[in-house]
Amino acid sequence: MIKTTAKGTKIFTVSSSAAPEIRAVAELIRAGELVAFPTETVYGLGAHALRADAVAKIFAAKERPADNPLIIHIYDLRQLKTLAADIPEEAWQLAHHFWPGPLTLILRKKAQVPDLVTGGLDSVAIRMPNHTLALALLQQADVPVAAPSANLSGRPSPTTADHVLTDLDGRIAAVLDGGPCSVGVESTVLDIRQGEPKILRPGGVTPEEISAVLRRPCSLVHWLPQSEDAPPSPGLKYLHYAPRAPLYLLTGAPERQIKKMQELLQNFQAEGKRVGLLVSQESAGKFSGAEIIVLGSRRRPDQLAAGLFAALRSFDEKQVDVILAEGYSKKGVGLAVMNRLQKAAGPRVINVGGDE
Ligand code: TXA
Ligand code: MG
């Protein structure tokens, strides 16, 4: 089914990778147009990765800083060698194990990758998404596809076609609507070029899983905006995942978090503010009189991840003045959930003591 919005963006709604509409979307990519498409993590904003004119449109549509590089999406391992040089054995091991899936590998770039894609770096980010529609689209386009998350720069990543249109309607040629994304947070970005493998952004694949495959430690890079060194990944410099209202993130023992949240809720309400609460199933019953969004069980980080960005966006719609969010354990994909919540909170993190 095809519809066109009042601002001129085409919506192709498909439910199977055999749908004939995918061919039309693939043709748009080949022609140098921008197309948003679903992946297992979040929706991506795709363009022909080897055409600088097409890639330039991504930065314009998203209002993305030019030094923040893009991930190239592939559907076949054979494409890897055409984009990256000096590929270490461990990169092949990880690709065989985790692809298609939410892992992005940072490798040395080959000359045919435009500098615009890599923000002028000599490295390139590559992944193979685990989504049947994305794979069908990549296969039919049959070119590498550069795709950042399909949101305006700084906003929460989109996990539905509606989210994409909220930010980019009229700025892109088309969106392929394949329903909501399953993982809900972006891919893990891993630098595997030399030394100990370093996670530049935690995501859908956990450090524990990577260590288990490589049989050696894999650590998360820490970099603070105050640092005088260049960030290991340019994306670390920029504001991210920000809902419109300020978000306060609580961390520490769950019972203490609940007490503190009740206290903050009362204080903000006394000031006449509309408060949004982002909580787990276990804590939801402890609150009333606020806009409450329940993400899932605190013991199921996959549930927390799947609903996180949609929740941040729906607080925008509910026009709350302030958001209070519960913090969770960093086990498994909980690490990525806490990373996104911390970025959304910026300096507004309140530690109440004790373990999550
Ligand atoms: O799950 C995902 O990764 C989604 C879907 C669409 O695939 N894409 C995504 O792209 O999240 P984006 O552009 O929103 O985030 C890419 C991140 C940025 O933080 C960027 O700085 C980093 O990857 N990155 C890209 N190329 C890099 C490079 N050569 N070196 C270091 N970091 C890089
Ligand atoms: Mg992004």
Where do the domains of the chain lie, and which CATH numbers do they carry?
2-220 (3.90.870.10), 247-351 (3.40.50.11030)
pTM for the model stands at 0.97
Residues 28-37 pLDDT 10s? 999 999 999 9
pLDDT at 267: 97
**In sequence order, which residues have a C-beta less than 8 Å from that of residue 131 and are 6 or more positions away?**
38, 39, 40, 100, 178, 181
Nearest C-alpha neighbor of 327 from the set 256, 238, 237, 235: 256
Ligand nearest to the CA of 187: 1
CB 69 within 8 A of CB 86: no
199 DSSP β-pair partners? 190, 220
Q: Could you report how far apart the first and last alpha carbons of the chain are, in Å? A: 46
Does residue 72 have its Cβ closer than 6 Å to ligand 1?
A: no
Residues 159-172 pLDDT 10s? 999 999 999 999 99
Q: How many CA atoms lie within 13 A of 264 on its CB side?
A: 22
CA distance to 55, 141, 282, per residue, from 328 (Å): 37, 40, 12
Say how far apart CA 185 and CA 59 lie, in whole Å: 21
**Other Cβ atoms closer than 10 A to 77:** 12
Mutate to test the pocket of ligand 1, among 110, 149, 182, 199 (most ligand atoms within 8 A of CB): 149
The atom of ligand 1 lying closest to the CA of 201 is 19
Residue 149 CA to ligand 2 centre (angstroms): 4
Mutate to test the pocket of ligand 1, among 186, 199, 236 (most ligand atoms within 8 A of CB): 186
Q: Which helix (H) or strand (E) holds 146?
A: strand 145-146
Low-confidence ranges of the chain (pLDDT < 70): none
Does residue 159 have its Cβ closer than 6 Å to ligand 1?
A: no
Q: Which helix (H) or strand (E) holds 126?
A: strand 123-127
Place of tokens 């050696």: 216
Residue 1 CA to ligand 1 centre (angstroms): 31
Does residue 10 have its Cβ closer than 6 Å to ligand 1?
A: no
pLDDT at 102: 98
pLDDT at 44: 98
Peptide bond into 180 cis (omega under 30): no
CB 40 within 8 A of CB 34: no
pLDDT at 201: 95
Residue 12 CA to ligand 2 centre (angstroms): 23
Say how far apart CA 11 and CA 164 lie, in whole Å: 11
**Other Cβ atoms closer than 10 A to 143:** 17
Say how far apart CA 347 and CA 188 lie, in whole Å: 24
pLDDT at 235: 80
Residue nearest to atom 31 of ligand 1 (CA): 233
Does residue 269 have its Cβ closer than 6 Å to ligand 1?
A: no
Does residue 69 have its Cβ closer than 6 Å to ligand 1?
A: yes
Mutate to test the pocket of ligand 1, among 40, 59, 71, 121 (most ligand atoms within 8 A of CB): 71
Taken in order 267, 270, 272, 274, the sign of the CA dihedral is positive
Beta-sheet pairing, 71-73 with 219-220: unpaired
Mutate to test the pocket of ligand 1, among 67, 152, 233 (most ligand atoms within 8 A of CB): 233
Residue nearest to atom 10 of ligand 1 (CA): 148
Does residue 44 have its Cβ closer than 6 Å to ligand 1?
A: yes
Nearest C-alpha neighbor of 202 from the set 250, 235, 239: 235
Would you mind telling me the total number of residues written for the chain in this entry?
356
Residue nearest to atom 20 of ligand 1 (CA): 235
3-state helix, strand, coil in the chain (%, to 5): 35, 20, 45
Does residue 83 have its Cβ closer than 6 Å to ligand 1?
A: no
